[in-house]
């Protein structure tokens, strides 16, 4: 049964990644041809295939990382999580160092060394969950409020650094995933509900004075007010999604990918998918993500240790949450969060981090099999 779960999980992720590769090549090559003309298409396919080759490389690196994490195991991850949090915090500091940190679209979220870029916040999402699990399992009883605050103190600096980048969407995702762990670990509601509410109000009051945040909210509420600027992508995404109809326009027949929806292979790739494959295609995509989430939760609830339950359930929840938020943005249900679609969108750090998390979830099964022997 356990081996069957691993096989099904691998199939689900492989299908999502393969479909994502097709869509990445589909959107990026069409945009390249539209920008540079057919001549660039003929020269070794360099312009049209670069995004595809890059994603394949990231996929290979992510697969190797998943294998390493699978052998490393969830128990080791939990034990080493304090050191991992410290290391990632140092990387988040490097984001602000000139010559190392990379600034793009008004934000500093990446580290660039030797031509390779890395987004530390993508890895912190999962490390934060492992660290909280580490803190919980060291206790013999439900913590009091003072202990609960001490458990979170080491997470505050990296979260603040991510806020300063700015990357509010990632902080919100980490907090929501931690709330999932609070429920699982039976942390009393009075310990975290009111502090989170107060923190949200304080952060919101500061955020509303940040041009970066207010611009996104304005775009969310009234995208038509800035169709040549921030409102362009959300508006065109709605057009792409809606024009697909029931069965879509057909593979490769998207109009919006021809520079109407720029860089669609990133956060808005689902809009092009909806345009080409329609409502039926989107339902199939959702079914794949639902299958992935169901398998992850099944592994969690069959885990022989409480640590395995916490890790597998929280990691699965985080993947499902990012999926919901991305599709919510594409459909116009939610304001832009800057989160991509797990295993499907173009993105190196997110793909590698998600595959590494998948390796950890699979290691829960490996540990249980070792006990059974």
Each residue's pLDDT expressed in tens, for the chain with a length of 373 residues:
477 899 999 999 999 999 999 999 888 776 655 555 544 444 444 455 778 888 999 999 999 999 999 999 999 999 999 999 999 999 999 999 988 888 877 778 889 877 778 999 999 999 999 999 999 988 777 788 888 888 889 999 999 999 888 888 899 999 999 999 999 998 988 888 887 788 778 767 776 666 666 776 776 777 666 666 667 788 788 888 888 899 999 988 888 877 777 777 788 899 999 999 999 999 999 999 999 999 999 999 999 999 999 999 999 999 999 999 999 988 888 887 778 999 999 888 999 999 999 999 999 998 766 665 5
Per-residue pLDDT, 43: 40
Angle between helices 348-372 and 2-36 (to 10 degrees): 170
Residue 266: predicted pLDDT: 81
Q: What is the pLDDT of residue 95?
A: 92
Helix axis angle, 269-301 relative to 232-243, nearest 10°? Answer: 80
Count of Cβ atoms closer than 10 Å to residue 245 Cβ: 12
User: What pLDDT sits at residue 180?
Assistant: 93
Peptide bond connecting 101 to the previous residue in cis, omega within 30 degrees of 0:
no
pLDDT given for residue 107 in this prediction: 79
pLDDT at 227: 67
Distance, in Å, from the CA atom of 123 to the CA atom of 118, rounded to the nearest integer, reads 10
Q: What is the dihedral of CA 33, 34, 37, 42, to 10 degrees?
A: 10
Q: Please, which residues have CB within 8 angstroms of residue 338's CB and are 6 or more apart in sequence? A: 167, 169, 170, 267
Cβ pair 275, 241 in contact under 8 A: yes
CA pseudo-torsion sign 130, 352, 289, 159: positive
Q: Which domain holds residue 182?
A: 2-372
Specify the pLDDT at position 40: 47
Confidence at residue 45, expressed as pLDDT on a 0 to 100 scale: 45
pTM above 0.85, yes or no: yes
Q: Is 301 left (phi over 0), alpha (psi -120 to 50) or beta?
A: alpha
pLDDT of residue 237: 85
Count of the separate structural domains present in the chain: 1
């Amino acid at each position: 049964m356990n081996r069957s779960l691993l096989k099904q999980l691998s199939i689900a992720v492989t299908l999502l990644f393969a479909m994502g590769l097709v869509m990445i090549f589909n959107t990026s090559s069409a945009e390249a041809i539209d920008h540079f003309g057919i001549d660039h298409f003929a020269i070794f396919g360099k312009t049209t295939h670069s995004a595809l080759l890059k994603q394949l490389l990231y996929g290979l690196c992510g697969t190797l990382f998943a294998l390493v994490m699978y052998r490393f195991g969830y128990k080791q991850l939990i034990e080493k999580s304090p050191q991992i949090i410290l290391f990632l915090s140092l990387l988040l500091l490097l984001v602000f160092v000139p010559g190392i940190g990379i600034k793009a679209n008004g934000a500093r979220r990446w580290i660039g060394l030797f031509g390779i870029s890395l987004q530390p916040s993508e890895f912190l999402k999962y490390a934060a969950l492992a660290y909280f699990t580490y803190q919980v399992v060291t206790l013999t009883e439900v913590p009091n409020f003072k202990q609960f605050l001490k458990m979170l103190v080491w997470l505050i600096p990296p979260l603040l650094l991510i806020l300063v980048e700015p990357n509010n969407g990632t902080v919100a995702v980490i907090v929501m995933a931690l709330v999932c762990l609070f429920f699982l670990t039976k942390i009393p509601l009075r310990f975290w509900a009111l502090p989170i509410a107060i923190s949200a109000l304080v952060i919101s009051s500061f955020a509303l004075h940040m041009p970066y945040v207010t611009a996104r909210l304005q775009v969310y509420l009234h995208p038509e007010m800035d169709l040549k600027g921030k409102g362009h992508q959300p508006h065109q995404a709605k057009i792409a999604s809606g024009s697909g109809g029931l069965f879509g326009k057909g593979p490769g027949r998207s109009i919006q990918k021809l520079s109407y929806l720029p860089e669609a292979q990133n956060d808005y790739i689902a809009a092009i998918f909806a345009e080409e494959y329609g409502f039926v295609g989107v339902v199939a995509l959702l079914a794949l993500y639902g299958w992935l989430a169901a398998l992850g939760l099944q592994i969690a609830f069959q885990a022989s240790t409480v640590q395995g339950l916490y890790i597998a359930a929280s990691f699965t929840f985080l993947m499902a949450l990012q999926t919901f938020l991305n599709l919510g943005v594409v459909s116009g249900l939610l304001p832009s969060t800057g989160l991509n679609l797990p295993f499907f969108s173009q993105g190196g750090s997110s793909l590698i981090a998600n595959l590494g998390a998948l390796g950890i979830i699979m290691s829960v099964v490996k540990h249980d099999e070792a006990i059974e022997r």
